[in-house]
Amino acid sequence: MTVEFDDDVKACAELVHRADPDRFMAVMAAPVAARPLLFPLYALNVEVARAPWVTQEVMIAEMRLQWWRDALQEIAEGKPARRHEVVTPLSQVLSPHLAAMLDEYVAVRRWDIYRDPFEDEAHFDAYINHSAGSLMVATAQVLGAADEGVLRDFGYGVGVANWLRAIPGLEARGRIPLLVGTFEGVQALAQKALDRVQQARSNASGVSADARPALFAGWQAEWVLRQAAARPDRVAAGDLAQGEIRRRLSLMLRVASGRW
């Protein structure tokens, strides 16, 4: 698939650069031809992730998420895409199948609107799987052949790593982000996510070379999860960020080695 780096894609890139600098770095480390395919999906992620937080009015937040579900449904049904700097390039990138899959990716973000805790482990896992996992599936499969199970294993690990980094902000907004907020609970969750990352890597042959750059977005996940497992107190302290030099160098090493 070839997509031009037009004004819409540039707008997507600027949005990702402002709101999600880690994924922006990961895209810029990918081959040039992959960038206009990845930027619209990561711009979608920015828009969907922030939709529940830009207003305290529940109905407005619900409407914002529904707008994105409607836009993805139009793409899934092959209808003309609505004119929008993110939706327009998305319609050129997503297959109907992937657009339909991303409906649940948007729907699970309704949890962010409310203050109810997760019901149980299955509910939490579904949230991570449909958000981070589905994004990993979509970004990889628009680039090339990749096994969905491998992508969801890796996406789960990346999603939990990002979730653990977000804990202080979520708690400050009145959310209850963990089923078990004890040190032991954090360690168990981090270890479970590490196991999923290792499971994905044991099946790395299921991800083609073309699709591999999408997995660069998870380059910090293993480090974050190991830190959380060893020092769960760092989660509540918001101390799970790599220093700038280490952050950049670790990405360069991942890309150079081809190992995600």
DSSP for 21-32, written as a single string: HHHHHHHHTS-G
CA 61 to chain CA centroid, Å, is 20
Contact present, 187 and 229 (Cβ < 8 Å): yes
What's the pLDDT at 134? 98
What's the pLDDT at 213? 97
Q: Which amino acid is at 98?
A: L
| Token pair belonging to 9 | 């894609």
b/e string for 76-112 if b means 16 or more Cβ within 10 A? beeeebeebbbbbbbbbbbeeebbebbbebbbbbbbb
Of the ranges 1-10, 26-35, 189-198, which one carries the lowest mean pLDDT score?
Answer: 1-10
Is the pLDDT at 112 greater than 90, yes or no? yes
Confidence label for 88 from pLDDT (cuts 50, 70 and 90): very high
Residues 162-183 pLDDT 10s: 999 999 999 999 999 999 999 9
Contact present, 233 and 183 (Cβ < 8 Å): yes
Residues 239-256 pLDDT 10s: 999 999 999 999 999 999
Residue count of the chain, please give it. 260
What's the pLDDT at 97? 97
Is the pLDDT at 228 greater than 90, yes or no? yes
CA dihedral 113, 115, 121, 122 (to 10 degrees): -40
- CA dist 82 and 138 (Å) reads 20
Confidence label for 1 from pLDDT (cuts 50, 70 and 90): confident
- CA dist 156 and 232 (Å) reads 19
What's the pLDDT at 3? 81
**Could you give the percent of the chain with pLDDT greater than 90?**
97
Indicate the angle between helix axes 121-128 and 148-172, nearest 10 degrees.
Answer: 110
What's the mean per-residue pLDDT of the chain? 96
Residues 6+ apart with CB under 8 A from 214: 30, 34, 38, 136, 139, 140, 142, 143, 146
Confidence label for 57 from pLDDT (cuts 50, 70 and 90): very high
Give helix then strand counts, H and E, for the chain.
13, 0
Alpha carbon separation from 127 to 107, 115, 122, 160, 202 (Å, rounded):
9, 15, 9, 10, 24
| Token pair belonging to 105 | 């990716």
